[in-house]
Structure formats: C-alpha cells, structure tokens
A and B are shown apart, each in its own frame.
Chain A
Amino acid sequence: SIYYYRKPKTKRAKRFLEKREPKLNENTKNAMLIRGGNANLTVTEVLKDIYAVKKPFAVLYKRKNITRPFEDQTSLEFFSKKSDCSLFLFGSHNKKRPNNLIIGRMFDYHVLDMIELGVEKFVSLKDIKNSKCPEGTKPMLIFAGDMFDVNQEYSRLKSLLIDFFRGPTVPSIRLAGLEYVLHFTAVDGKIYMRSYKVLLKKSGCRIPRIELEEMGPSLDLVMRRTHLASDDLYKLSLKQPKGLKPKKKKNISHDAFGTTYGQIHMQKQDLSKLLTRKMKGLRKRPAEKSAEDGGATPKKSKSA
C-alpha cells in the first residue's frame, strides 16, 4: 500500500485507487474519444464507430471540448488523469484540416505520441448492411505495405494502431471466435483501414478456408502532422520491470533447432545387476526368488 495524498476512507475508494496505481502487469489501456470544438458529422460518426469497436475499453465524451491538442496538451492530460485513459482519439474539422483525427497515447498521464490523420473517405458501420460481430471481440490486426517498416512515422503509427485496437491480452483464445479482422494497407501516401468479418469455411483439411465479408468502419487516412516522443522518452516508456521476465529454469537449455536439453542426475547404479535385455531363461523362478528374500515375504494362503 502506498502513502496516499488523500487517504481513502472506504474500501471501495481504496480499490479504486489501487486499480489506477502503476503495476507490474498493467490493465488494458482505455481510450477516450473526444470531439473538438468544431467537429462535423463525419468526424462524430467516426468517433462513434470506433467507440463501438473498442467497447468496453473506451469512453466517448458527449460534449464538444474546445481544445487544440497540438498547441496545448494540458486539458488532454487532465482528462486522462480523471478517466484513467492512456489512449485518445480527438476529432475536429476546419477549412485547413478537414475531417481531422488526432490519435495519441500517454505515458504517466503525459502525452507520449500524437499523430494527426485526415479522413478522406469514411464508410460507417450503419452504411454497410451486413451482420456484425459481437461487441468486445478481440480483432486480428494485419499491416500490409513496406512503408510501415521503412518510414519512422509510419512505424510509430503502426505501433499506435496496435496499441489502440489490440484489446485485452489473453492467454488463450477460442479458435472459432476469430471473427473480426482489421486490415491496414499503406500505399501511395495513404493508409486504407478496412474491417472485415471472418467466415471460416470448410476446406479439406483441419485448417479452415477464410472468406471475408466487409463489415465495420472503413477509413481512408492520410498522415498530416505528428508529435512523436523523443527517442529516450520512448525507450523509457518501453522499459519493462524485471519481475515480468520469465524465471529461467536452471539446467534446461535450448539449441537452435528448438530441441530442449536437460541434465538428469541419477544415483549410482549397480551395473552388475543391470538387465539390458529380457531373456526368458534368465527370469528368476519363484523358488529362487523366495530363497533370495530369505523367506521374508511368503505368499499368504487363503484361509478356507
């Protein structure tokens, strides 16, 4: 327990504060979806759709907030502290930057990375009349295009998008429940984000054949301004505490092919009594056996 600035007076308050403490294994990141002072219909629809995808790990603010994230980050940080959200998506619209989305993340309630994206085309969940997958499905994420590895801004964007959409980390997953896939293609200076519902069809063998059905929001994005964290701050944020490393088991080693080697320590064996092959002739007869035991364990005869 830490020394609180204001000591919690109830157990519920204490649990609330403990949930927000820095921990070894962190909680799933929450996202806050904010409308700017001059958000238009498109941008609002985008925010609503992303909220539907990210439920329950998102907070959608209903009212418009008149802030400019690239100029002043204090109000964002205040919201982040109040709602314990470390991801945010801010939508605004003006003549110079139409249909603007600022996607960003926080570290220790301070802005780490912010990337401004322009929405060129948007098809909403409502406009595509297909069946949707249930809320809270963990999506599969696919990034296509070499821009995501070559360009530093694109690779930060990729990291941001993974952080945003990945959902809770689970140890195991139901194979039939892999229903949702988000596909990001970077081509020609644009990023195409498409969401599909996955249909698993029978193929001849165990692995099913995939058919896709376009389902969710589809966005055509173009990168505008960026505010990326400096390298050392980013490295600091990536640092994992030592307790998370899996404990190294002594005596076990792996080689390049994946074979596991270990050393077994045996007690000293009497090599003269070792039997390497079963030879029927060498099998001890019952008489010899009892002679060896010294008659210590005679067979019990059933009493009539």
Chain B
Amino acid sequence: MAAVRVEAMLAAAEEQEAEKRRSITVEKELELEYDLGNLLATDRNPPPAAALRGAGPRREALLQALARDNTQLLVSQLWELPAERAGGAGGPLVAQLPEPTFPLPREKPPPKPRPPTRWEQFARLKGIRRKKKTSLVWDEQAKEWRRRWGYRRAGGDPSRAWLAEVPAGADPEEDQFARLRREKRERVARNELNRLRNLARAHRAGSAVPAAPLHPTGHQDRDELRRVARVARVSTASLGRFQPRLPKEPAEPPSRSGGKKRRFEPLLGNLAAERSRQLELLRDMGSKKPVLDITRAVNKQLRQEEAEAAAANKGKKQSKRGKRGRRQQRPG
C-alpha cells in the first residue's frame, strides 16, 4: 500500500517537473543558429507561408507566436552562458558574452602600420635592442629615489646648475652657460626636424603622393631639387641636349643615359685611353682563360639564394616578434 502511494507521489512530482520544463521548451524541426555575441539567432525553418498569407490579426498572432518561440530559444541559450553577480551578492546577474562571430564589414580599412623611422631601420640592421631602463634612479645627494628625467629629477634641476666647467681646449673667455643653452636649443631643433622628417616620410610612403611639383615650393630639400632640375632639363624637344648650363653646374650629366652602349665619347679625344682599350680587347680575345669566371658566378648565385631565404625567414620571424615588435611600432 505504502509503496504504491510513494510511487504515485514520485510520478506526480515528475509530472510537475515535466510541466515546468515544458513551459520553456520549444519544438523545432531545424535547430536555430546562434551568435550570442551579437544576440542573434537565425531560424532556418520555412515559415508557414499559407497561414501567413491570410488577413491581418491572424497573421500578427502567428508572427508573434513564432517570435515567442524563437526568443525563448535564444534566451535559453543566453541563460546558459557563464554568469556572475556584478557588484556583490545583491547585484544584477550579468552574463559574459562571447565574441561576435557573424562576419560584418568594417567601417574603414584597417590602419596601416607606421613605417620604421631612420633610427629604427638602423637599429634593426645592427641588431640593437632596447635596454630596459628603471624609472627611478638613486640620487646620492638627496639620498632617495628620484625620477630619471622630469620634475625633481635625479641630477637636480639643470636650469639651476650654478657651475659649468670650462672643458679642456676651449676658449677661456667663452660663456659656458650660453654655450650649454645654445647646444640644448640646437639639440631640440634637430630632434624636432628629424621627427618631422620621419612623419613626412611616413606620410609620403602611406599616401603614394606623386613626385614633387616642378616649380620650386620652398619646402624641398637638396636631392628633391636636383631631381626636379634634371627632369626639367630633359623636358625639352631635343631632350636637353642643347640646354645651356649654369656656371657651377657639372659640365656633363653624370651618365644619366646609363649603360655602356649609350656613352658617346668624342672621336679624337684621349689617344692613350683609346690605345689601352684596343690592346685590352686584343688581349681578352687572345687569352685562353674563359671570360666567365665559373666560381665567382656560382658564389654570387649562392649568396643571392641565401639572401632570399634570409629575407623570407625574416618576414616570418618579424611577424612572430610579438610584444617587442609591436612595442616598437607604437605611434610616436
């Protein structure tokens, strides 16, 4: 008797549990696809087209039922996520969302990494690495840890330095304080100039700015002007052959035409050079040694292959440099 009652009770309890769980279960033919990072769910089941073609209120009710089912499934998934109580025991329940997986296009193209500065290129070539410096330095005079530079630095305030030694071999009459100030100003100016040059180089590299305009702008440096002058000289109908030169310009353009076959030397110039050239030609023709030095050629080829392999490895290794590489690439 008791056993039957216990069984009945258990059955009733299970029935209740199932009832509760039924309220949140939804039957679907195809499972939904979830992207919880975006709070997104996709239902691939074809909706009941015939029913939805009907009139207003029934359609709305159907759409609402469909939406309710789908939302129930999505919320169940969200409730399964690892959650914690934010702000102590009484705070709201907060779930950790995963990264969104749905591929969406970006707003703007990804930023290009800044090209290395002149120093960074040199350091990479030489293999110089950054030395980690401590932020505080022990100051003997003040007997405490002071900053390396900045407010209250370790060596005392440089503008309050009351003693400036005359270095050996300097003019005794010279004002040392003025010299120090002038040198600091020059250093700052040079640093600023180099920084702007690096920025301009980066900007030029990034934006593919076309070649310099042919008229002088006042902001061009020496080699740019030289390039521009050369282009201007050659832009005549006779390709610059009859262009008069300035008093200090070099007489002949330094083989801009390039190559052995385009060097037009005067006919009756240097007799000795002509003689030596002809004799060398005869010697080469008569000698038994082959013109192509096999060992040199092979060595050159090997070196070229090694350089290519090193470049490929360097490319791979640089991407693996991780923190250090990224630290050096931070914008200045």
Let me know if B79 and A3 touch, CB within 8 A. Answer: no
Q: At the interface, yes or no: A279 with Cβ under 8 Å from chain B?
A: no
Closest to B30 in A: A146
Let me know if A210 and B75 touch, CB within 8 A. Answer: yes
Closest to B42 in A: A143
How far, in whole Å, are A249 and B81 apart by their CA atoms in the complex? Answer: 23
How far, in whole Å, are A243 and B44 apart by their CA atoms in the complex? Answer: 34
Q: At the interface, yes or no: A2 with Cβ under 8 Å from chain B?
A: yes
Q: Which residues of B contact A169 (CB under 8 A)?
A: 37-38, 100
Let me know if A203 and B94 touch, CB within 8 A. Answer: no
Q: At the interface, yes or no: A83 with Cβ under 8 Å from chain B?
A: no
Given A3-B199, A214-B64, residue A175 in contact with residue B105 (CB < 8 A):
no
Let me know if A142 and B71 touch, CB within 8 A. Answer: yes
Stretch at the interface among A40-48, A64-72, A101-109, A286-294: A101-109
Q: Which residues of B contact A187 (CB under 8 A)?
A: 47, 49, 52
How far, in whole Å, are A170 and B66 apart by their CA atoms in the complex? Answer: 27
Q: At the interface, yes or no: B138 with Cβ under 8 Å from chain A?
A: no
Let me know if A173 and B203 touch, CB within 8 A. Answer: no
Let me know if B44 and A146 touch, CB within 8 A. Answer: yes
Q: At the interface, yes or no: A139 with Cβ under 8 Å from chain B?
A: yes
In the complex, which range does the number of interface residues on chain B fall in?
35 or more
Stretch at the interface among A8-16, A17-25, A258-266: A17-25
Question: A167-207: contact bitstring with B at CB < 8 Å (1 yes, 0 no)?
Answer: 00111111111100101011110001010101010011111
Given A3-B203, A188-B52, A203-B23, residue A86 in contact with residue B107 (CB < 8 A):
yes
Q: At the interface, yes or no: B154 with Cβ under 8 Å from chain A?
A: no
User: Which of B19, B45, B104, B202 is within 8 Å of A163, CB to CB?
Assistant: B104
How far, in whole Å, are A173 and B77 apart by their CA atoms in the complex? Answer: 13
Given A27-B107, A241-B111, residue A212 in contact with residue B64 (CB < 8 A):
yes
Q: How far is the CB of B188 from chain A (nearest CB, A)?
A: 19
Q: Which residues of B contact A21 (CB under 8 A)?
A: 108, 111
Let me know if A198 and B71 touch, CB within 8 A. Answer: yes
How far, in whole Å, are A145 and B322 apart by their CA atoms in the complex? Answer: 45
How far, in whole Å, are A123 and B40 apart by their CA atoms in the complex? Answer: 24
Closest to A181 in B: B71
Question: A119-145: contact bitstring with B at CB < 8 Å (1 yes, 0 no)?
Answer: 000000000000000000011111111
How far, in whole Å, are A121 and B167 apart by their CA atoms in the complex? Answer: 90
Given A21-B111, A176-B93, A210-B71, residue A237 in contact with residue B105 (CB < 8 A):
yes
Q: At the interface, yes or no: B67 with Cβ under 8 Å from chain A?
A: yes
Let me know if B24 and A212 touch, CB within 8 A. Answer: no
Let me know if B67 and A194 touch, CB within 8 A. Answer: yes
In the complex, which range does the number of interface residues on chain A fall in?
35 or more
How far, in whole Å, are A130 and B209 apart by their CA atoms in the complex? Answer: 59
Residues of B24-41 contacting chain A, CB below 8 A:
24, 37-41
Q: Which residues of A contact B43 (CB under 8 A)?
A: 142-145
Q: Which residues of A contact B319 (CB under 8 A)?
A: 242
Let me know if A22 and B109 touch, CB within 8 A. Answer: yes
Q: At the interface, yes or no: B331 with Cβ under 8 Å from chain A?
A: yes
Question: A199-239: contact bitstring with B at CB < 8 Å (1 yes, 0 no)?
Answer: 01001111111111010000000000000000000101111
Let me know if B107 and A207 touch, CB within 8 A. Answer: no
How far, in whole Å, are A10 and B104 apart by their CA atoms in the complex? Answer: 35
How far, in whole Å, are A250 and B250 apart by their CA atoms in the complex? Answer: 62
Q: How far is the CB of A44 from chain B (nearest CB, A)?
A: 24
Q: How far is the CB of A212 from chain B (nearest CB, A)?
A: 5
Closest to A213 in B: B64
Q: At the interface, yes or no: A166 with Cβ under 8 Å from chain B?
A: yes
Let me know if B67 and A183 touch, CB within 8 A. Answer: yes
Q: How far is the CB of A251 from chain B (nearest CB, A)?
A: 16
Q: At the interface, yes or no: A88 with Cβ under 8 Å from chain B?
A: no
Q: How far is the CB of A293 from chain B (nearest CB, A)?
A: 41
Q: At the interface, yes or no: A90 with Cβ under 8 Å from chain B?
A: no
User: Which of B49, B95, B322 is within 8 Å of A175, CB to CB?
Assistant: B95
Let me know if B108 and A108 touch, CB within 8 A. Answer: yes
Q: Which residues of B contact A174 (CB under 8 A)?
A: 86, 92-95
Q: At the interface, yes or no: B78 with Cβ under 8 Å from chain A?
A: yes
How far, in whole Å, are A126 and B304 apart by their CA atoms in the complex? Answer: 75
Closest to B107 in A: A86
How far, in whole Å, are A174 and B78 apart by their CA atoms in the complex? Answer: 10
Let me know if A171 and B97 touch, CB within 8 A. Answer: yes
Q: How far is the CB of B94 from chain A (nearest CB, A)?
A: 5
- Which 3 A-B residue pairings sit nearest by Cβ, starting from the closest? A204-B20, A237-B105, A3-B203
CB pairs A–B below 8 angstroms (23 shown): A3-B203, A21-B111, A22-B110, A26-B106, A26-B108, A105-B105, A107-B109, A140-B74, A142-B71, A163-B104, A166-B39, A172-B86, A174-B86, A175-B94, A176-B92, A178-B75, A183-B63, A185-B63, A198-B75, A203-B23, A212-B67, A237-B109, A240-B106
